[in-house]
Structure 1
Amino acid sequence: MDLKITPTKSISKKLLSISAIITAVIISISLYFSFTANQQKIARVVEQFSLNEIVATGTIIPLHQHWLSAKSVGQVEQVFVNAGDNVNIGDPVAKLANPQLESERATLQIEANILAAEFLGKQLDLENSDLNMQQQLSDLKSELRLNTMKLEAETSLAHKGIISQYDLARVTEKRQQLQFKVENEAQRYHSFIRNKEAQMQAQKAKKEGVSSKLQAKTEQVNNLLITAKMSGVVQSIDLTLGQTIQLGDEIAVIAKMSPLHAKISVAQNIIAQVFPDMPVDIFIGEHIVKAKVDAISPSVKNGAVEVNVVLPKILPKETKTFATIKAVLYPTKKQQKLWLEQGDQFPEGELQVSVIDTTGKITDKTIKLGQFSHGKREVVSGLTLNDQILFKQKNNGI
């Protein structure tokens, strides 16, 4: 049996109402999007200062370093410090052992002691001889003076006829003999003095020769104990016990941590923009250290120029010497630029726009826009500060 269903008037009216509502909604949505698409937006011209940054890399280096080298030959017996340790002047760094060197020094010390004793003994003997000869010469001179006085008296008596000429001749002869003895003794004494000085000079030279050798050998032995020659931080030390060290071998590098400086490499084609006292930001860990350019190298190496930057005395704890760092150099003068807000709505290059100036006047202009950065478009020409541009919102950016 077939059933036939016929819609009633009530159902028909409901369907018509629903259809009307849907049509109204569609029309409203279309009108909304049409209005939105044609709605005028405003973009404002703003001012922004920018810096011509020069980004470079470099290395933190101590301004004062000392390369500690071996002054004696030996084998490493003790190592007192490690890399990173703080040391003061005179602190022991390492000790070398050299038994042969110490034995040679002991032998020279004995020889030097013997020569010193011989020198002193020789000096005493010659001084005694000197005193004896001086005494003998003095006695002869005294006797000669007495004999001279006697001769003068005898001569006076002979003139008066009191004594004979024979007696006077005997006194005269004796005085001549004494005069001869005095002259001979004086010559012998002067010869002795010259000989004494020569002997002492030879003995002294021999003693000083051994003493000089002993001093040099003692210095070599003392240099077996290697000490810090400046206060600072041990930058590097690479020694093992028993290692043989030759004269001049590098033992350690000690550096003063303050002041430090940074060596920065700047490309040759932009080095002309760098100048002394130019501000520099040095990035150390999460810290930014403010510094200034100190000097610029006149030479070029691998297409780059070395720039020296002196760092402040107070630095972050993370500061490490010889570590690679980032540096940003800034010119002292800032560059003023105009930027257009909502820059993603405008293409780069020339375009026609409606501009509202500061008086509210609307003018059609040809403007030129440049690079896009941080949501803004650079104004190259055609706009001034606080100008506003009318534009239609785009659904997608640049």
Structure 2
Amino acid sequence: MDLIKPPEPTKYWRRWYWALVPVFLLAGLWQFGAGEPVTRLARQDVLIATVEYGPLAIGVDSFGVLRSAEQHLLSAESDAVVKHIHLKAGAAVKVGDVIATLDNPDLSLAVAQAQQALQDSDMALQQLTLNQQREFLSEQTVLDKLTGDLATARFREQAEQGLAEKGIISQLAFAQTQSRVTNLARQMQSAQQRLEQLKKLHASAQQLASQRIVIRRQELARSRARLAALTITAPVAGILERMPLAVGQRLSVGDETALIGSQTHLLAELRVPQSQVQKVQPGQAVTVRIRDQQVTGTVGRVDPVVVDNSVKVEVALPQALPKAARPMLSIDASITVAELEQALYIRRPANVREQQSTQLYRLAEDGSTELATVHFGALAGRYVVIEQGAQRNQRWIISDLSNLAQQGAQVALN
């Protein structure tokens, strides 16, 4: 026969368990909403800085490049075509090194024409000299003849004077002799004046001919120089900073062919933001970082023109520079604009500007953090002056946690 199995007793504890689950969930949510959110960060993932107190140099950070203090620009002396390039930008050059070779067949013809013109001028001067000598001799002969005739007439006058007084010859004959003497004297004076004028005329003609020869020589020298300038050579030793030529390129007179800068005498050309350039003055000390070394320079000139929201500042550097220094090398620098004897300062937090208040997390001794507002003053390179909100030896998180600070979240470091 079949056995009837009695029903199992009801498990009332399971019913109470499922009834209490919503209560526990509501209690947990209430506690979570009532507390502040906590963000846990690894200590090695954040930057922590300590507030310091002492002397501080206020500086303006900038960047730029090294440039040659002495530059030599080479330009095309005539129209030409680039035939060959021997050196490119960045190459070190010595005096006389060939940089490039140009081509212009017309210059050889110009040199030959200038030589012919100079020879023609030389021959013209020689012919002029011979003609002047002949003219001078002709005038001198006339003067000599008049001088002789005048001397003879005067002797005759002296001889006839006594005879006329004694009545041997007539007074008319004696008067004719006196008139001849006067006439010959006047002719000789005129001849002397003509001779002097001829000398001056000859001297003027000689001077003009000589000047013409000088001009022809200058033209020849210029033509030869233009022909020689087809071979572009370095007039000074240094580094080839710029060489914009290409083979086959056509050049016009005055086009740049190369720029040579000194490797030993350099200056720093910095770009300072226009918002801070009013603090920069000539004579201020500048710390220039060249690769992993530092040198101290002096502000020499502040450009009055603003370009791309920055102003160019030239810094004079010492003669002794690191071996890595060379023209066009990128550098960064800090211009010291003020010296504070005692100041409260900290390493510059992320996204902090001068004269600005911001919220940062202060780190306590037990490792907990507290959000507080700090008012900053002037920037000093990697550091910033604290005006209010922090004390000496306090530690602060200087990493960018602005998003957490805006939410008022708590931060815990692991």
- 1:306 maps to 312
Alignment gaps of 5+ in structure 1: 1-44, 351-367, 379-394
Q: Where in structure 2 are the equivalents of 1:52-67 lying within 5 Å?
A: 52-67=58-73
TM-score norm. by structure 2 comes to 0.63
Residue 138 of structure 1, CA deviation: 2.2
Residue 306 of structure 1, CA deviation: 3.0
- 2:155 maps to 149
* Coordinate RMSD, CA, aligned: 3.9
Find the structure with the greater CA-based Rg.
Answer: 1
- 1:220 maps to 226
Alignment gaps of 5+ in structure 2: 1-49, 347-362, 374-387, 398-410
- 1:336 maps to 343
Query: Residue 390 of structure 2 is aligned with which of 363, 370, 388?
Result: 370
- Name the SS for the 1:158 alignment partner: helix
| Superimposed CA distance per residue, residues 336-394 of structure 1 (whole angstroms, 9 cap, x where no aligned partner) | 338998484463449xxxxxxxxxxxxxxxxx963999x8259xxxxxxxxxxxxxxxx
Change (3 A) 1:184 1:59: closer
Identity %: 26
- 1:113 maps to 119
CA distance in 1, matches of 2:259, 2:130: 53
Change (3 A) 1:182 1:370: closer
- Name the SS for the 2:135 alignment partner: helix
Residue type of the partner of 1:347? E
Moved more, 278-287 or 252-261: 278-287
Moved more, 165-174 or 226-235: 165-174
1:344/1:376 contact within 8 Å kept = no
| Superimposed CA distance per residue, residues 138-181 of structure 1 (whole angstroms, 9 cap, x where no aligned partner) | 23213312321221221112212344557646645654664565
1:278/1:332 contact within 8 Å kept = no
Change (3 A) 1:336 1:164: closer
TM-score norm. by structure 1 comes to 0.65
Residue 90 of structure 1, CA deviation: 5.5
1:370/1:377 contact within 8 Å kept = no
Residue 248 of structure 1, CA deviation: 0.9
Residue type of the partner of 1:370? A
- 2:131 maps to 125
Residue 206 of structure 1, CA deviation: 5.3
| Superimposed CA distance per residue, residues 265-314 of structure 1 (whole angstroms, 9 cap, x where no aligned partner) | 23333334444444433232222333343343444333333333222222
Moved more, 188-197 or 273-282: 188-197
CA distance in 2, matches of 1:338, 1:140: 110
Residue 255 of structure 1, CA deviation: 0.9
Residue type of the partner of 2:311? V
Query: Residue 347 of structure 1 is aligned with which of 349, 361, 370?
Result: 370
CA distance in 1, matches of 2:227, 2:297: 46
Change (3 A) 1:343 1:133: farther
- Name the SS for the 1:347 alignment partner: strand
Query: Residue 89 of structure 2 is aligned with which of 78, 83, 108?
Result: 83
Residue 237 of structure 1, CA deviation: 1.6
Count the aligned residue pairs. 320
| Superimposed CA distance per residue, residues 117-155 of structure 1 (whole angstroms, 9 cap, x where no aligned partner) | 221122123123313421431232133123212212211
Change (3 A) 1:305 1:216: closer
Residue 89 of structure 1, CA deviation: 5.2
Q: Where in structure 2 are the equivalents of 1:1-398 lying within 5 Å?
A: 48-49=53-54, 51-88=57-94, 91-165=97-171, 168=174, 171-172=177-178, 175=181, 178-179=184-185, 182=188, 185-186=191-192, 189=195, 192-193=198-199, 196=202, 200=206, 203-204=209-210, 207=213, 210-330=216-336, 331-337=338-344, 342=365, 344-345=367-368, 347-349=370-372, 370=390, 376-377=395-396, 397=413
- Name the SS for the 1:147 alignment partner: helix
CA distance in 2, matches of 1:79, 1:132: 65
2:53/2:392 contact within 8 Å kept = no
CA distance in 2, matches of 1:192, 1:121: 17
CA distance in 2, matches of 1:173, 1:371: 127
Residue type of the partner of 1:376? R
Residue 104 of structure 1, CA deviation: 1.9
Residue 256 of structure 1, CA deviation: 1.6
CA distance in 1, matches of 2:413, 2:207: 102
Moved more, 111-120 or 297-306: 297-306
| Superimposed CA distance per residue, residues 173-226 of structure 1 (whole angstroms, 9 cap, x where no aligned partner) | 654664565366456646655664565566556555544543443343243333
1:344/1:377 contact within 8 Å kept = no
Residue 235 of structure 1, CA deviation: 0.9
2:51/2:392 contact within 8 Å kept = no
- Name the SS for the 1:265 alignment partner: strand
CA distance in 2, matches of 1:210, 1:396: 91
- Name the SS for the 2:319 alignment partner: coil
Residue type of the partner of 1:255? G
CA distance in 1, matches of 2:213, 2:292: 67
CA distance in 2, matches of 1:187, 1:310: 70
